[in-house]
Amino acid sequence: MQLCSELLHQGSAKLQLQPAIRHARYPSWTGRPHDWGEAWQGIASLVWQVGARQEPVVATKIRWVGSAVRAVDLFAGAGGATAGLRQAGISVIGAVENDAYACQSYQANHPDVLLKQIDIRQLDPDAFRRELGLRRGSLELLKACPPCQGFSTLASGDIDEERNDLVLDVANFVFAFRPRVILLENVPGLARDNRLPKLLATLEAVGYRFKQYKVNAADLGVPQRRKRLIIIGASRAVRRRLPEKITDLIPERFELTETTVKEAFDLLRKSEIRDDPLDRYRQNSPQVAARIAAVPVNGSRFDLPPDLQLDCHRRVTGRTATASYGRIRLDAPAPTMTTRCTTPACGSFIHPTEHRGITLREAAVLQTFPLTYRFMGHYGSIEQQIGNAVPVRMAAALGEVVRAILGR
């Protein structure tokens, strides 16, 4: 195992890697491998297992050697998708995000990724590719999650059309990188927008084929009901057919079982983390606090007495948030975490048993961020970063699908 020997002698990594290798499952070879491909596959498996036990920066460098699946993350946000892809053994080497606070969060957790803080419309895709040291056609995965508010059923109707057009700008990066696989994630409403067929037709004209999947994050083990449209595209260089169901390519070790809020919160409660800066919730006025206290377990604003109801609650319209002032259920996945996910007036975001909204950390846990994941910025910005994120576990599942499509 010359490769592992070399890894063991890379300075500071030595003490970290030795315990991990003891726990890894060595490939069992008897005699000469049938071919070098078989040998490399076994080495890659071992290296990936070792990398899974390391700190993020070390793990990324190790996994790249074994998996050779590299990714660029567009509209990266605070890094939820990057964290999940890395859990799947994918090496994210570049990212683009425009929001300053989200970039600070991303860099705090993924310092080894080349991150560009810029509007993607202002970034030259070819120059970015060259800066990453990539040839056209050499990148395995391009992931993009354009802003989804304009396609959401909760959209107010005054969303900037230019922001919706960002989905079309993804094509410029596909032309520049020519990745083997494209991964798009958005709300289901994107499927009804005329921009999507334009984008897909443009990319099909240069050899990509696509399949669309409607996925609920709760079906992938995320403790949250979050319906999303997943679009996977493959270039001519990818021989494998795209799956009919996205779960067909998720390995058995990735347990596809429903996770409840109680299970997620128990992990947080049992952790030894102290003085967590995200262990805080939104402070409310006395009137809002009274409404929260009046909502019973598993209840909502419909349980409020008349003197605590708002006028907008009495005038229900198509755009009224009917779930406002709702308590999260302990025995089921949580509702979708939005950009106001700790604000009780904006959804079912009251703690299951306590008279308060959920904390920022509790919201992050429901998005399956690691308990030590760092977020930068003021309270409102962090709340928005968490709500906008791709759930980490969902991204990990999608990463497994991408690896299977690539045969890695």
Catalytic positions: 148
Bridge partners, 234 (sequence order):
181, 209
Triad 391, 393, 397: Cα angle to 5°: 115
* Burial of 273 (C-beta count, 10 Å sphere; 0-12/13-18/19+): exposed
- The Cα 64–Cα 408 span in angstroms is 12
Q: Give the type of residue at 120.
A: I
Tell me how crowded residue 191 is: count the other CB atoms within 10 A of its CB. 14
Tokens of 398: 């999608």
Q: Give the type of residue at 232.
A: I
55: left (phi over 0), alpha (psi -120 to 50) or beta: beta
Tokens 């319209």 locate to 317
Of 389, 367, 384, 357, the residue nearest 279 (C-alpha): 357
Dihedral angle sign, alpha carbons of residues 276, 278, 283, 288: negative
Tell me how crowded residue 190 is: count the other CB atoms within 10 A of its CB. 23
Asked if residue 139 lies in contact with residue 179, where contact means CB atoms within 8 angstroms, the answer is: yes
* Burial of 75 (C-beta count, 10 Å sphere; 0-12/13-18/19+): buried
Look at the chain and count its residues: 408
Asked if residue 77 lies in contact with residue 369, where contact means CB atoms within 8 angstroms, the answer is: no
DSSP code of residue 357? B
Bridge partners, 189 (sequence order):
none
Q: Which helix (H) or strand (E) holds 395?
A: helix 392-406
